[in-house]
Chain A
């Protein structure tokens, strides 16, 4: 049995809404697991069930070999960082960190020791006497993390903790969270709707949609090998291009082009997915793109345009290529990196 084990966990709210459907998942000790999905997909509910803040309608949750379904949140030995940090506004930073320890009846000197250690680790030693209202967003974030670390819990739970920060700080804190987790080595679950955050932080990633885990794996596995239309569309930025098509006798025909000898026995209506970064310009082209707009990011250019059938399409090319608005580009798919999904079920078929 692994460190955290979810078995057929289901959550149905009293009003009948089913937020999580029979979800099973295991997290190893020291692992950084990320739940990613659109808002309202049930990822936060799942996290809150682990924390004990939501009742479990069905199924079992085991933490460190112990069934915790009915265990009070305070007894679970989990620490959580909330989206708005939930710092205690009337206590200074020191007491914010010390409060959980005091409640556990730890003696004063040990508390002081632990708080000072955590403060040093997070570089908040200078603010210990300040109230949260006198701190900046980034500092509050650190205090919230300090409050989690200081208790030395079995598991860290992060509920979209970076979404209240500005873009630059978010990237910085993302790095720090990852470094910190590696240093402290505590098992962590991180909930986010931002796929970049998810990709960069995760050891393993669970893509959740409508209360179901659509795919579970390392970030690269999921990026290279999405199992469903939803995962393919959700992971990757800019988003994967999708084209309607049809397969007959191992030949896929889409608007304006054909791909022969595909690696699938599927026949019928499909969606063809091509990532913008898996395209290149070449003579014997497959796809013709009329350029509408070019976004220059420096290292890359994002080229937006339309295909023959007026379908929107995106192509990512190195930043040193100059592409004018209105140009006609001939594009080919690199190394046959395309994804075919059953149009009716959304399942991958190649």
Chain B
């Protein structure tokens, strides 16, 4: 009986937590399915209305921005390119950096690693002007390349891969050497397959990181053609229901990716076998 009470109590606390997180999201979603006059008169809604298709379709195809050059659809496309680019590029560079740090006989490899690692303490906002001026000098303002590259060096991913490589037994490398594997083959045939789950986890992590970027895309794009979804949230004009609909849609890609790949994400981050 006491066990029933304690477990009900903890379930109650968890339920309250879930409600606190879910209710605002639900209210935005419910409200986004009404007409704007309804929201303006009666405030936020708890129940679904019947303008779902009308509102969402309008948002996807509406020509927004100051010059009416961008649609929500294009923003999703831009965000997708940027997030995918950041994810792939940062995972590839981190894999290689970690490989070099662990397996090459680099003097002061540990020191080098910590220098890479402390860049975590230097947020993008701190280096945003020099980074911008480099991009401007290279004529990369208003390009996907300029959106992706400056935020694609990830110390976190390097840390994860380095720690993982350190747990790979030396005998594996020695055995592979005797089997005729060179440095490149060992990387491709051993380390990449062995860190598969971690690679997927990092891809998800970096995808969401890239997708959520706000300040950098804001600075490095002046053409509306390169607006991303997160920028668009701020820039989007229109009535309140359309903004709500856009907010809802902006949450879909990261959630989708996490739902589909969550098995790998959990495996990779918590490293069980």
Are both chains from one complex? yes
For the complex, what is the distance from the CA of A89 to the CA of B189, rounded to whole Å? 11
Closest A-chain residue to B192, C-beta based?
A: A90
In whole Å, how far is B127's beta carbon from the nearest beta carbon of chain A? 39
Residues of chain A with a CB closer than 8 A to B267's CB: none
Instruction: Say which residue of A72, A80, A99, A103 sits within 8 Å of B174 (CB atoms).
Output: A80
Residues of chain A with a CB closer than 8 A to B194's CB: 89-90
* Inter-chain contact A78/B171, CB cutoff 8 Å: no
Task: Tally chain A residues at the interface, Cβ within 8 Å.
Answer: 24
Q: Is B172 in contact with chain A by the CB < 8 A criterion?
A: yes
In whole Å, how far is B97's beta carbon from the nearest beta carbon of chain A? 22
Residues of chain A with a CB closer than 8 A to B185's CB: 103
For the complex, what is the distance from the CA of A151 to the CA of B179, rounded to whole Å? 9
Q: Is A38 in contact with chain B by the CB < 8 A criterion?
A: no
Q: Is B190 in contact with chain A by the CB < 8 A criterion?
A: yes
Residues of chain A with a CB closer than 8 A to B177's CB: 52-53, 72-74
- The digit string for A55-93, where 1 denotes a CB below 8 A from any CB of B, is 000000000000000001110101110111010111000
- The digit string for B40-73, where 1 denotes a CB below 8 A from any CB of A, is 0000000000000000000000000000000000
* Inter-chain contact A53/B174, CB cutoff 8 Å: yes
Residues of chain B with a CB closer than 8 A to A88's CB: 172, 175-176, 190
The 10 A-B residue pairs whose C-beta atoms are closest, nearest first, are: A103-B180, A100-B179, A86-B171, A86-B175, A74-B180, A90-B193, A82-B171, A73-B177, A53-B174, A73-B178
Q: Is A104 in contact with chain B by the CB < 8 A criterion?
A: yes
Q: Is B17 in contact with chain A by the CB < 8 A criterion?
A: no
- Taking CB atoms and an 8 Å cut-off, the chain A residues in 92-148 that contact chain B are 99-100, 103-104, 133, 147
* Inter-chain contact A74/B181, CB cutoff 8 Å: yes
Task: Tally chain B residues at the interface, Cβ within 8 Å.
Answer: 18
Indicate whether A86 sits within 8 Å of B174 (C-beta atoms), given known contacts A99-B189, A103-B185: yes
Indicate whether A84 sits within 8 Å of B169 (C-beta atoms), given known contacts A73-B177, A89-B194: yes
Closest B-chain residue to A87, C-beta based?
A: B175
Q: Is A51 in contact with chain B by the CB < 8 A criterion?
A: yes
Known: A73-B174, A99-B176. 19 other contacts (CB 8 A): A53-B177, A72-B177, A73-B178, A74-B177, A76-B178, A78-B178, A80-B175, A82-B171, A84-B169, A86-B169, A86-B171, A86-B172, A88-B175, A89-B194, A90-B194, A103-B179, A103-B180, A103-B181, A151-B179
- Taking CB atoms and an 8 Å cut-off, the chain A residues in 241-273 that contact chain B are none
- The digit string for B151-194, where 1 denotes a CB below 8 A from any CB of A, is 00000000000000000010110111111111001000110011
* Inter-chain contact B193/A74, CB cutoff 8 Å: no
For the complex, what is the distance from the CA of A175 to the CA of B169, rounded to whole Å? 29
In whole Å, how far is A170's beta carbon from the nearest beta carbon of chain B? 20
In whole Å, how far is A143's beta carbon from the nearest beta carbon of chain B? 12
For the complex, what is the distance from the CA of A147 to the CA of B175, rounded to whole Å? 10
Pick 12 A–B contacts, CB within 8 A, sort by A. Answer: A52-B177, A53-B174, A73-B177, A74-B181, A86-B171, A86-B174, A88-B172, A90-B193, A99-B176, A103-B179, A103-B181, A133-B273
For the complex, what is the distance from the CA of A315 to the CA of B172, rounded to whole Å? 46
For the complex, what is the distance from the CA of A88 to the CA of B169, rounded to whole Å? 11
